Amino acid sequence: MQRSANHDEIVALFYEGALDSAQYHNAMAALANACSSPRVAALAWNRSEEGGQVLSAVGDDSGAAADYNRYFYRLDPSRPRLGAWAPGRWYHDSQELGGTLANDPFYRDFMRPHRLGHVLAVKIDAVDGVDYYLSCVRLLDQPDFDPGTKEWLTQLFPHMQRASRLGARARALQLRAGLGWAALDSLATAVLLLEVDGRIAAANAAAERLFQQETTLHCHQQRLVPHDSGAASRLLQLLSAATAVRPRGGTLAVPGCSLRLSILPLAPESPWRTSLSQPVALVLIDDPGAAIDPDPNWLQMLYGLTPAETRLAGVLAHDHSPVECAELLGVSLATIRTQLRALFGKTGTRRQAELARLLALTQRPL
């Protein structure tokens, strides 16, 4: 074994694996080679469900991982011990089980049929009721793990744990940013992340639709470019200010249309800021002069409106009187008045003018 020579390489692979699952797999493969352990697996145990699962494995050419996940995790004798131990303490089956190992159901019905011999395993971490483990397994015809292997793995453990925590943090930030952007896609307001030169780092669905419709503000070579040269220059100034060491925001009215841009600095801890290689600013594009047309699904979700009440809300948003609403919707004035009372009750408003203002605010959730 070339454990000493491979130590730095394996450490580096585990840290790279925090951001790249392929590199984590390579780290496990390098660990398997250094320990003369043809099988290395990463596992997770949910303490509330008493369920264990192999998350990934190297060298599993016998289907052992699938059999373990399907049934044999229930028989694994390492679970009670490792579950009670703190992270970093290595479990060696021959030391823990002693003479009972030969007749243990897990070894008799699972390990030996898959030609698996001895196990060295460790709890990497415990997060939100789930224990994470790494297990090194030798084949049935190989000798048991020697004390030097366990000692070397003990020295390697702090790096394995630190890399695991970095990976969990990175995945959480990616998920948080992804969920946040998915929510922005549901909004009518155009939202973008712009670099200092106007390059678009990200844009929600409303912004993409705007680029297809608007001629005074468009996307050119992945940059946001106002058609007016003065506005284009002013936008770059505002982006520079919003991404400076002491950032400040500003607004820009686009000549030739009623669009208004709000350029805002991002908080230092924002995942959108920390996950991108270049400084970015948050840009909101709205149209104060646009006709209000509330999204039906948004209204129903917020206020629990019926389809008929939603249709009426859409007409009322354009300042139509009850008589005009009845004519436009093809229903009686009495029906409109009944639905209007229901709208007042569900939205907490008392007058039609107040309801119209609420609908306008509903259309501008940011």
**What pLDDT, in 10s, does the model give residues 290-302?**
666 677 887 888 8
| Sheet with strand 250-253: strands edge to edge | 200-203, 190-195, 280-286, 260-264, 250-253
Give yes or no: residues 155 and 214 share one domain: no
pLDDT for res 364: 45
Query: Which CATH number is 19's domain given?
Result: 3.30.450.40
Report yes or no: 42 and 54 within 8 Å, Cβ to Cβ: yes
Pick from 234, 253, 286: which residue ends a domain?
A: 286
Helix (H) / strand (E) containing 131: strand 130-139
List the domain range (segments joined by +) for residue 260: 185-286
291, part of any domain: no
Q: How far apart, in whole angstroms, are the C-alpha atoms of residue 123 and residue 135?
A: 9
Q: How far apart, in whole angstroms, are the C-alpha atoms of residue 253 and residue 288?
A: 10
319, part of any domain: yes
Q: Which residues are within 8 A (CB) of 287 and not within 5 positions of it... i.e. 6 or more apart?
A: 257, 258, 259, 260
Question: Alpha carbon 330 to chain centroid distance?
Answer: 46
Report yes or no: 195 and 201 within 8 Å, Cβ to Cβ: yes
Give yes or no: residues 242 and 327 share one domain: no
Give yes or no: residues 199 and 54 share one domain: no
Q: How far apart, in whole angstroms, are the C-alpha atoms of residue 299 and residue 296?
A: 5
Task: Tell me how crowded residue 166 is: count the other CB atoms within 10 A of its CB.
Answer: 15
Give yes or no: residues 356 and 276 share one domain: no
Give yes or no: residues 33 and 164 share one domain: yes
Pick from 177, 208, 225: which residue ends a domain?
A: 177
Give yes or no: residues 162 and 36 share one domain: yes
pLDDT for res 18: 87
pLDDT for res 127: 81
The residue ranges of the chain whose pLDDT is under 70 are: 1-5, 49-51, 175-177, 179, 214, 271-277, 289-293, 360-366
Q: How far apart, in whole angstroms, are the C-alpha atoms of residue 148 and residue 283?
A: 58
Q: How far apart, in whole angstroms, are the C-alpha atoms of residue 201 and residue 110?
A: 51
Backbone angles phi, psi at 199, to 5 degrees: -65, 135
pLDDT for res 365: 43
Query: Which CATH number is 208's domain given?
Result: 3.30.450.20
Phi-psi bin for 212: left (phi > 0), alpha (psi -120 to 50), beta?
alpha
pLDDT for res 284: 93
Give yes or no: residues 154 and 189 share one domain: no
Query: Which CATH number is 304's domain given?
Result: 1.10.10.10
Q: How far apart, in whole angstroms, are the C-alpha atoms of residue 267 and residue 281?
A: 10
pLDDT for res 219: 85
Q: How far apart, in whole angstroms, are the C-alpha atoms of residue 145 and residue 234?
A: 68
pLDDT for res 289: 67
Number of domains composing the chain: 3
Give yes or no: residues 161 and 217 share one domain: no
H-helix segments, the chain: 3-16, 21-34, 64-70, 78-84, 93-97, 105-106, 147-184, 205-213, 229-242, 271-274, 296-303, 307-316, 322-329, 333-347, 352-362
Token digits of residue 85? 């131990």
pLDDT for res 179: 66
61, part of any domain: yes
pLDDT for res 366: 40
Smallest CA-to-CA distance from 28 within 20, 19, 17 is with 17
